[in-house]
């Protein structure tokens, strides 16, 4: 089956022992992209969130590196290929079990300001993982994602018996 990208939204509360769950929709896409159960995570370069994807993105990142170098040479700009490669390939590869459970390294939790749960937002070639409070601080162009997050968070709180949201 050919990998079709990441779309949709989901919310997953933090579990015991620092574990999180990759929701079924994203789990299926990562398995297709990684030819197995390997999740790649890194800090987003500008937003206060994490980026997730499968192993198939490695080829795309190599092509991106080549494009960026080619453009820099064409316009006469300095380009440090080693530094840029370190930025693009600085992700962590982590296994997840059949239920989607994985343990997020503490440094990624800190970088993404992750606390009690994760909001997942599909983004095509990758997906983002947000602390709902960080997402709420984004601008109006994130209105749809913020509305979905609020709804999913309210559903999760209602299911856990912690009240029905705001």
The domain total for the chain is: 1
Task: Tell me the C-alpha to C-alpha distance, in Å, between residue 151 and each of 47, 94, 147, 154, 160.
Answer: 22, 29, 6, 5, 14
Residue 85 domain-assigned? no
Q: Categorize the per-residue pLDDT at 118 as very low, low, confident or very high, splitting at 50, 70 and 90.
A: very high
pLDDT digits (tens, 9 = 90+) for 36-95: 899 999 999 899 999 999 988 888 888 999 999 999 999 999 999 999 898 888 899 999
Structural domain of 119? 9-55+94-159
3-class SS of residue 33: helix
CATH of the domain at 126: 3.40.1550.20
Q: What is the pTM of this model?
A: 0.86
Q: Residue 163 pLDDT > 90, yes or no?
A: no
């Amino acid at each position: 089956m050919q990998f079709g990208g990441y779309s949709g939204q989901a919310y997953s509360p933090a579990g015991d022992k620092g574990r999180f769950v990759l929701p079924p929709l994203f789990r299926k896409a990562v398995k297709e992209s990684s030819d197995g159960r390997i999740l790649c995570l890194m800090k987003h370069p500008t937003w206060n969130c994490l980026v997730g994807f499968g192993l198939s993105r490695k080829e795309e990142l190599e092509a991106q590196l080549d494009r960026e170098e080619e453009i820099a040479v064409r316009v006469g700009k300095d380009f440090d290929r080693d530094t840029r490669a370190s930025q693009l390939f600085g992700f962590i590869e982590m296994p997840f079990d059949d239920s989607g459970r994985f343990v997020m390294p503490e440094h990624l939790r800190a970088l993404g300001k992750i606390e009690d749960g994760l909001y997942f937002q599909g983004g095509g070639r990758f997906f983002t993982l947000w602390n709902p409070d960080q997402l709420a601080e984004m601008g109006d162009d994130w209105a749809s994602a913020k509305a979905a997050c609020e709804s999913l968070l309210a559903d999760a709180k209602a299911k856990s018996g912690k009240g029905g949201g705001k």
